[in-house]
């Protein structure tokens, strides 16, 4: 134990206790204190060495354990490194996007001022909008009242619709009846359309000859053809009855007047295809006159009549006559 310094062992707690005990004994000047301390220190040193050896052994064991765990730690580090690489790449991408993001933020920041201006304008419009909403709110009760009235009117309307629906079969049947008349109506319209050109020609001739007819036909009157009535002077037709309509032997003056009146009526008023009959029951004379066609000849309107005359079942005449308006506005037979 040469060169051993008790104070150098104070770093160990248990040695510190022993040395403290030794110092206390020495401070008390007890006799033979050194002799009592020496065996303790002699035992403490080997024990300390044993403890140090144990500590070194444990440290070695810990180092061995660390070395054994080193591959796993290295593998974990490598895994972490592999996981970090995508993160680093992602961070690089994000870093590359930062300028664009900054630019976008700048654009957004530039838009903030117009947006705020628009918001301010909308805020200024709010009182007007609220007033309009208030007017609409005030208009809602009358609208609801009107809707209520309409709702109350719906049942009568539905009832009326039901009545109309019940009348539909009769209406359809009536329409079917009208449909059967359509061909006749179309035929009549076609006939009327065919009459328009000669009628216009007659009108033109009558307009040109109106003054002459007014002066020379004192017993007759000429009106526009559009009125549907054109009367020729009766004396001209009456005086020429036997020569105009052929031999009328067996007919008295009354028979001739009836024939002539029927002919004049057809000439002045009836469309093409019309047919009229006359009869004198006293003399048993009768006949039929039919308008077969109309045409224009030498600028004058003309018509063709088919005249049949019978007396006591004996045929007196069955001829066709071409009759035209002359320059005096009277009807005359042309050859």
SS (H, E, C) the chain: CCCCCHHHHCCCHHHHHHHHHHHHHHHCCCCCHHHHHHHHHHHHHHHHHHHHHHHHHHHHHHHHHHHHHHHHHHHHHHHHHHHHHHHHHHHHHHHHHHHHHHHHHHHHHHHHHHHHHHHHHHHHHHHHHHHHHHHHHHHHHHHHHHHHHHHHHHHHHHHHHHHHHHHHHHHHHHHHHHHHHHHHHHHHHHHHHHHHHHHHHHHHHHHHHHHHHHHHCCCCCCCCHHHCCCCCCHHHHHHCHHHHCCCCCCCCHHHHHHHHHHHHHHHHHCCCCCEEEEEECCCCEEEEEEEEEEEEECCEEEEEEEEEEEECCEEEEEEEEEEEECCCCCEEEEC
**Predicted pLDDT of residue 279:** 92
Instruction: State pTM to two decimals.
Output: 0.34
Is pLDDT of 177 > 50?
yes
**Predicted pLDDT of residue 94:** 86
Q: Which of residues 310 and 244 earns the better pLDDT score?
A: 310
**Predicted pLDDT of residue 214:** 46
Is pLDDT of 230 > 60?
no
Average pLDDT of the residues of the chain: 76
Q: Any idea which of 94-103, 155-164, 183-192 has the lowest mean pLDDT?
A: 183-192
pLDDT tens-digit readout, 118-155? 888 888 988 988 989 999 989 999 999 999 999 898 99
Is pLDDT of 324 > 70?
yes
pLDDT tens-digit readout, 205-221? 666 555 444 444 433 33
Is pLDDT of 196 > 60?
yes
């Amino acid at each position: 134990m040469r060169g051993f310094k008790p104070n150098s062992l104070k770093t160990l707690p248990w040695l510190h206790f022993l040395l403290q005990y030794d110092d206390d004994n020495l401070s008390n000047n007890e006799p033979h204190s050194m002799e009592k301390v020496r065996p303790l220190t002699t035992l403490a040193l080997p024990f300390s060495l044993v403890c140090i050896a144990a500590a070194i052994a444990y440290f070695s064991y810990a180092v061995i354990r660390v070395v054994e765990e080193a591959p796993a730690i290295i593998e974990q580090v490598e895994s972490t490194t592999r996981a970090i690489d995508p993160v680093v790449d992602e961070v690089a991408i994000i870093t590359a996007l930062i300028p664009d993001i900054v630019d976008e933020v700048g654009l957004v920041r530039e838009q903030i001022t117009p947006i705020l201006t628009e918001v301010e304008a909308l805020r200024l419009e709010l009182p007007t909008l609220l007033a309009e909403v208030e007017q609409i709110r005030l208009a809602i009760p009358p609208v609801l009242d009107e809707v209520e009235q309409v709702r109350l009117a719906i049942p009568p309307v539905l009832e009326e619709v039901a009545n109309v629906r019940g009348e539909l079969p009769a209406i359809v049947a009536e329409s079917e009846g009208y449909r059967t008349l359509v061909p006749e109506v179309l035929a009549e319209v076609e006939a009327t359309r065919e009459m328009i050109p000669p009628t216009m020609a007659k009108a033109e001739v009558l307009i040109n000859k109106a003054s002459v007819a007014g002066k020379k036909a004192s017993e007759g009157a000429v009106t526009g053809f559009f009125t549907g009535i054109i009367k020729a002077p009766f004396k001209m037709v009456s005086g020429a009855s036997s020569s105009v309509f052929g031999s009328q032997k067996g007919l008295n003056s009354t028979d001739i007047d009836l024939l002539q009146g029927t002919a004049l009526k057809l000439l002045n008023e009836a469309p093409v295809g019309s047919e009229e009959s006359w009869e004198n029951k006293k003399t048993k004379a009768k006949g039929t006159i039919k308008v077969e066609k109309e045409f224009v000849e030498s600028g004058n309107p003309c018509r063709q009549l088919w005249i049949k005359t019978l007396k006591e079942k004996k045929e007196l005449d069955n001829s066709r006559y071409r009759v035209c308006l002359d320059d005096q506005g009277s009807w005359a037979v042309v050859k």
